[in-house]
Amino acid sequence: MKRKKKYLWLSVLSVCAALGVWELVTDILQLMPSYMLPSPAAVVEAFIYKLTGGVNPDGATLWQHISTSLKIALGGYTAGVVIGVPLGIAMAWYKKVDLFVKPLFDLLRPVPPLAWIPLLILWFGIGYSAKVAVIFLSAMIACVVNSYAGIKQTRQVHIWVAQTFGASDLEILFRVAIPTAWPMIFTGLKTSLGSAWMALVAAELLASTSGLGYMIQMARQMGRADIIIVGMFVIGVIGSLMSGILDLLGKKFVHRGGSK
Q: Which residue ranges make up the site for another protein (CB under 8 A)? A: 1, 3-4, 6-8, 10-11, 13-15, 18, 35-37, 99-101, 103-104, 107, 110-119, 121-123, 125, 194, 197-198, 201-202, 205-206, 213, 216-217, 219-220, 223, 225, 228-229, 231-233, 235-237, 239-240, 243
Residue nearer to another protein on the CB measure, 114 or 178: 114
CB of 31 to another protein, least distance (A): 13
Rounded CA separation 248/250 (Å): 5
Residue nearer to another protein on the CB measure, 96 or 252: 96
59 φ, ψ to 5°? 85, 10
Distance of CA 143 to the CA centre of its chain: 12
Residue nearer to another protein on the CB measure, 77 or 162: 77
CB of 100 to another protein, least distance (A): 5
CB of 199 to another protein, least distance (A): 8
Residue nearer to another protein on the CB measure, 117 or 162: 117
Residue nearer to another protein on the CB measure, 114 or 151: 114
